[in-house]
Protein backbone atom coordinates (compact mmCIF):
# COMPACT_ATOMS: atom_id res chain seq x y z
CA UNK A 1 0.00 0.00 0.00
CA UNK A 2 1.36 3.40 -0.96
CA UNK A 3 2.22 5.90 1.69
CA UNK A 4 0.55 9.28 1.63
CA UNK A 5 3.59 10.96 0.09
CA UNK A 6 4.01 8.15 -2.51
CA UNK A 7 0.34 8.37 -3.49
CA UNK A 8 0.65 12.13 -3.88
CA UNK A 9 3.77 11.74 -6.03
CA UNK A 10 2.03 9.06 -8.13
CA UNK A 11 -0.98 11.35 -8.67
CA UNK A 12 1.10 14.38 -9.58
CA UNK A 13 3.37 12.36 -11.86
CA UNK A 14 0.43 10.70 -13.63
CA UNK A 15 -1.31 14.04 -14.04
CA UNK A 16 1.81 15.63 -15.50
CA UNK A 17 2.33 12.71 -17.91
CA UNK A 18 -1.27 12.69 -19.12
CA UNK A 19 -1.24 16.46 -19.49
CA UNK A 20 1.93 16.29 -21.56
CA UNK A 21 0.45 13.61 -23.83
CA UNK A 22 -2.77 15.61 -24.18
CA UNK A 23 -0.93 18.80 -25.10
CA UNK A 24 1.30 16.92 -27.53
CA UNK A 25 -1.65 15.33 -29.29
CA UNK A 26 -3.49 18.66 -29.39
CA UNK A 27 -0.45 20.33 -30.93
CA UNK A 28 -0.17 17.59 -33.53
CA UNK A 29 -3.88 17.91 -34.35
CA UNK A 30 -3.62 21.66 -34.88
CA UNK A 31 -0.57 21.14 -37.08
CA UNK A 32 -2.53 18.75 -39.33
CA UNK A 33 -5.78 20.72 -39.44
CA UNK A 34 -4.92 23.12 -42.30
CA UNK A 35 -4.06 20.27 -44.64
CA UNK A 36 -6.80 17.86 -43.56
CA UNK A 37 -9.50 20.54 -43.79
CA UNK A 38 -8.09 21.96 -47.04
CA UNK A 39 -7.87 25.39 -45.44
CA UNK A 40 -6.20 26.69 -48.60
CA UNK A 41 -9.45 26.02 -50.44
CA UNK A 42 -11.51 28.28 -48.17
CA UNK A 43 -12.15 31.00 -50.71
CA UNK A 44 -14.48 33.94 -50.08
CA UNK A 45 -17.17 32.13 -52.09
CA UNK A 46 -16.84 28.96 -49.98
CA UNK A 47 -17.12 30.99 -46.77
CA UNK A 48 -20.23 32.77 -48.03
CA UNK A 49 -21.70 29.39 -48.91
CA UNK A 50 -20.99 28.14 -45.39
CA UNK A 51 -22.79 31.15 -43.95
CA UNK A 52 -25.80 30.44 -46.18
CA UNK A 53 -25.76 26.81 -45.01
CA UNK A 54 -26.00 28.03 -41.43
CA UNK A 55 -28.42 30.92 -42.02
CA UNK A 56 -30.94 28.70 -43.84
CA UNK A 57 -30.57 25.92 -41.25
CA UNK A 58 -29.85 23.34 -43.94
CA UNK A 59 -28.67 20.98 -41.21
CA UNK A 60 -32.26 20.83 -40.00
CA UNK A 61 -32.94 18.41 -42.88
CA UNK A 62 -29.55 17.40 -44.31
CA UNK A 63 -26.41 15.83 -42.88
CA UNK A 64 -22.92 17.20 -43.48
CA UNK A 65 -19.73 15.69 -42.03
CA UNK A 66 -21.92 13.25 -40.09
CA UNK A 67 -23.88 15.98 -38.30
CA UNK A 68 -27.44 17.03 -38.96
CA UNK A 69 -30.82 15.49 -39.62
CA UNK A 70 -31.81 12.48 -41.70
CA UNK A 71 -34.92 13.85 -43.38
CA UNK A 72 -33.08 14.74 -46.60
CA UNK A 73 -29.99 13.35 -48.38
CA UNK A 74 -26.49 13.37 -46.87
CA UNK A 75 -24.45 16.09 -48.60
CA UNK A 76 -20.80 15.61 -47.65
CA UNK A 77 -19.95 14.29 -51.12
CA UNK A 78 -22.93 15.58 -53.07
CA UNK A 79 -20.64 17.49 -55.46
CA UNK A 80 -18.94 14.27 -56.50
CA UNK A 81 -22.20 12.34 -56.59
CA UNK A 82 -24.45 14.81 -58.42
CA UNK A 83 -22.17 17.50 -59.85
CA UNK A 84 -22.54 21.29 -60.04
CA UNK A 85 -25.30 21.31 -62.68
CA UNK A 86 -27.69 19.25 -60.56
CA UNK A 87 -26.89 21.17 -57.36
CA UNK A 88 -27.45 24.52 -59.06
CA UNK A 89 -30.73 23.42 -60.63
CA UNK A 90 -31.99 21.94 -57.34
CA UNK A 91 -31.14 25.08 -55.38
CA UNK A 92 -32.67 27.35 -58.01
CA UNK A 93 -36.03 25.58 -58.26
CA UNK A 94 -36.55 22.42 -56.17
CA UNK A 95 -40.14 21.94 -57.33
CA UNK A 96 -39.16 21.92 -61.00
CA UNK A 97 -36.55 19.23 -60.43
CA UNK A 98 -38.95 16.88 -58.65
CA UNK A 99 -42.51 18.05 -59.39
CA UNK A 100 -44.88 17.03 -56.64
CA UNK A 101 -42.30 14.87 -54.86
CA UNK A 102 -39.71 16.94 -53.02
CA UNK A 103 -40.43 19.06 -49.99
CA UNK A 104 -37.32 21.21 -50.02
CA UNK A 105 -38.10 24.86 -49.41
CA UNK A 106 -37.46 27.22 -52.30
CA UNK A 107 -35.27 29.91 -50.76
CA UNK A 108 -35.21 31.88 -54.01
CA UNK A 109 -31.43 32.01 -54.00
CA UNK A 110 -29.78 34.51 -56.30
CA UNK A 111 -27.33 33.25 -58.93
CA UNK A 112 -24.48 34.44 -56.73
CA UNK A 113 -25.80 32.56 -53.69
CA UNK A 114 -26.21 29.39 -55.76
CA UNK A 115 -22.60 29.75 -56.93
CA UNK A 116 -21.42 30.16 -53.32
CA UNK A 117 -23.31 27.09 -52.12
CA UNK A 118 -21.96 25.00 -54.99
CA UNK A 119 -18.45 26.18 -54.08
CA UNK A 120 -19.08 25.22 -50.44
CA UNK A 121 -20.17 21.69 -51.38
CA UNK A 122 -17.16 21.35 -53.69
CA UNK A 123 -14.86 22.30 -50.80
CA UNK A 124 -16.68 20.00 -48.35
CA UNK A 125 -15.77 16.87 -50.29
CA UNK A 126 -12.05 17.75 -50.13
CA UNK A 127 -11.94 17.61 -46.32
CA UNK A 128 -10.05 14.52 -45.10
CA UNK A 129 -12.61 12.55 -43.09
CA UNK A 130 -10.72 9.25 -43.06
CA UNK A 131 -12.99 7.72 -45.68
CA UNK A 132 -16.31 9.03 -44.36
CA UNK A 133 -18.88 8.65 -45.72
CA UNK A 134 -18.12 5.25 -47.19
CA UNK A 135 -19.21 4.59 -50.73
CA UNK A 136 -21.98 1.98 -50.97
CA UNK A 137 -20.73 -1.44 -51.98
CA UNK A 138 -23.60 -2.20 -54.32
CA UNK A 139 -23.15 -4.62 -57.15
CA UNK A 140 -23.50 -3.23 -60.66
CA UNK A 141 -26.77 -4.15 -62.37
CA UNK A 142 -26.61 -6.85 -64.99
CA UNK A 143 -25.94 -5.49 -68.46
CA UNK A 144 -27.43 -6.84 -71.64
CA UNK A 145 -24.64 -8.31 -73.76
CA UNK A 146 -25.12 -6.20 -76.86
CA UNK A 147 -26.56 -3.11 -75.22
CA UNK A 148 -25.54 0.25 -76.67
CA UNK A 149 -25.57 1.71 -73.16
CA UNK A 150 -22.52 -0.40 -72.37
CA UNK A 151 -20.57 2.54 -73.77
CA UNK A 152 -19.27 4.90 -71.15
CA UNK A 153 -22.02 7.13 -69.84
CA UNK A 154 -21.32 10.88 -69.88
CA UNK A 155 -20.63 12.22 -66.40
CA UNK A 156 -23.50 14.67 -66.67
CA UNK A 157 -25.86 11.76 -67.46
CA UNK A 158 -24.75 9.82 -64.38
CA UNK A 159 -25.00 12.90 -62.16
CA UNK A 160 -28.10 14.61 -63.48
CA UNK A 161 -30.22 12.56 -65.86
CA UNK A 162 -30.44 9.40 -63.74
CA UNK A 163 -32.04 11.45 -60.98
CA UNK A 164 -35.31 11.30 -62.92
CA UNK A 165 -34.75 8.78 -65.73
CA UNK A 166 -33.73 5.14 -65.67
CA UNK A 167 -31.60 3.16 -68.07
CA UNK A 168 -31.54 -0.63 -67.89
CA UNK A 169 -33.41 -0.57 -64.60
CA UNK A 170 -31.09 1.89 -62.87
CA UNK A 171 -32.12 5.47 -62.07
CA UNK A 172 -35.17 7.48 -61.13
CA UNK A 173 -38.80 7.02 -62.01
CA UNK A 174 -39.99 10.63 -62.31
CA UNK A 175 -39.34 10.70 -66.05
CA UNK A 176 -39.69 7.96 -68.68
CA UNK A 177 -37.11 5.20 -69.01
CA UNK A 178 -34.51 5.87 -71.69
CA UNK A 179 -33.98 2.31 -72.92
CA UNK A 180 -34.17 2.31 -76.71
CA UNK A 181 -34.91 6.06 -76.85
CA UNK A 182 -32.51 6.44 -79.77
CA UNK A 183 -34.80 4.27 -81.90
CA UNK A 184 -37.81 6.47 -81.16
CA UNK A 185 -36.35 9.97 -81.36
CA UNK A 186 -33.63 11.56 -83.48
CA UNK A 187 -30.63 13.71 -82.59
CA UNK A 188 -32.32 16.95 -83.63
CA UNK A 189 -35.20 16.30 -81.21
CA UNK A 190 -32.80 15.48 -78.37
CA UNK A 191 -30.96 18.74 -78.93
CA UNK A 192 -34.13 20.85 -78.95
CA UNK A 193 -35.47 19.05 -75.89
CA UNK A 194 -32.29 19.40 -73.84
CA UNK A 195 -31.96 23.09 -74.67
CA UNK A 196 -35.52 23.94 -73.61
CA UNK A 197 -38.11 21.21 -72.91
CA UNK A 198 -40.93 23.73 -72.45
CA UNK A 199 -40.33 25.13 -75.94
CA UNK A 200 -40.91 21.65 -77.36
CA UNK A 201 -43.81 20.69 -75.08
CA UNK A 202 -45.61 23.39 -73.14
CA UNK A 203 -46.70 21.07 -70.33
CA UNK A 204 -43.35 19.27 -70.00
CA UNK A 205 -42.47 18.29 -66.44
CA UNK A 206 -38.76 18.43 -67.16
CA UNK A 207 -37.27 21.86 -66.36
CA UNK A 208 -34.76 23.74 -68.47
CA UNK A 209 -31.47 22.48 -67.07
CA UNK A 210 -28.23 24.48 -66.80
CA UNK A 211 -26.47 22.52 -69.56
CA UNK A 212 -23.77 24.04 -71.74
CA UNK A 213 -23.38 23.27 -75.44
CA UNK A 214 -20.66 20.65 -74.86
CA UNK A 215 -22.81 18.77 -72.34
CA UNK A 216 -25.84 18.88 -74.66
CA UNK A 217 -23.76 17.56 -77.55
CA UNK A 218 -22.40 14.74 -75.38
CA UNK A 219 -25.88 13.78 -74.21
CA UNK A 220 -27.31 13.89 -77.74
CA UNK A 221 -24.63 11.48 -78.93
CA UNK A 222 -25.19 9.13 -76.01
CA UNK A 223 -28.99 9.13 -76.17
CA UNK A 224 -28.94 8.62 -79.95
CA UNK A 225 -26.94 5.43 -79.39
CA UNK A 226 -29.61 3.90 -77.16
CA UNK A 227 -31.23 1.63 -79.72
CA UNK A 228 -33.88 -1.04 -79.30
CA UNK A 229 -32.43 -4.54 -79.20
CA UNK A 230 -33.44 -6.77 -82.12
CA UNK A 231 -35.91 -9.44 -81.08
Q: Is the pLDDT of residue 142 over 50?
A: no
**Exposure pattern of 115-153 as b/e (b: 16+ CB <10 Å)?**
bbbbbbbbbbeeeeeeeeeeeeeeeeeeeeeebbbeeeb
Q: Is the pLDDT of residue 150 over 60?
A: no
- CA 29 – CA 156 distance, rounded (Å): 38
Which of 91-105, 155-169, 198-212 has the lowest average pLDDT?
91-105
Q: Which residue intervals of the chain bear CATH 1.10.760.10?
A: 40-124, 149-224
**Whether 228 contacts 220, CB under 8 Å:** no
Pick 20 or 140 by higher pLDDT. Answer: 20
Give the predicted TM-score (pTM) of the model.
0.73
Cβ neighbors of 57 (< 8 A, separation 6 or more) are: none
**Whether 65 contacts 77, CB under 8 Å:** no
| Third-level CATH fold of 40-124 | Cytochrome Bc1 Complex; Chain D, domain 2 (1.10.760)
Q: Is the pLDDT of residue 149 over 50?
A: no
| Third-level CATH fold of 149-224 | Cytochrome Bc1 Complex; Chain D, domain 2 (1.10.760)
Q: Is the pLDDT of residue 145 over 80?
A: no
Cβ neighbours of 194 (radius 10 Å): 20
Once rounded to an integer, what is the mean pLDDT over residues 90-99?
Answer: 84
User: Residue 231's pLDDT is what?
Assistant: 63
Averaged pLDDT of the chain:
88
Once rounded to an integer, what is the mean pLDDT over residues 35-64?
Answer: 94
Amino acid sequence: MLSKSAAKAFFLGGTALCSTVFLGLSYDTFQQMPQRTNAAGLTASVIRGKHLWEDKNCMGCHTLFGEGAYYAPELTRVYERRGPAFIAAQLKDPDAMFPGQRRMTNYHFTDGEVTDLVAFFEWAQTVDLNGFPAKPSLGAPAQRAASASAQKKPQIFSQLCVTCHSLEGTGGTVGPALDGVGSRLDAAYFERWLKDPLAVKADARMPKLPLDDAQISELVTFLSAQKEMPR
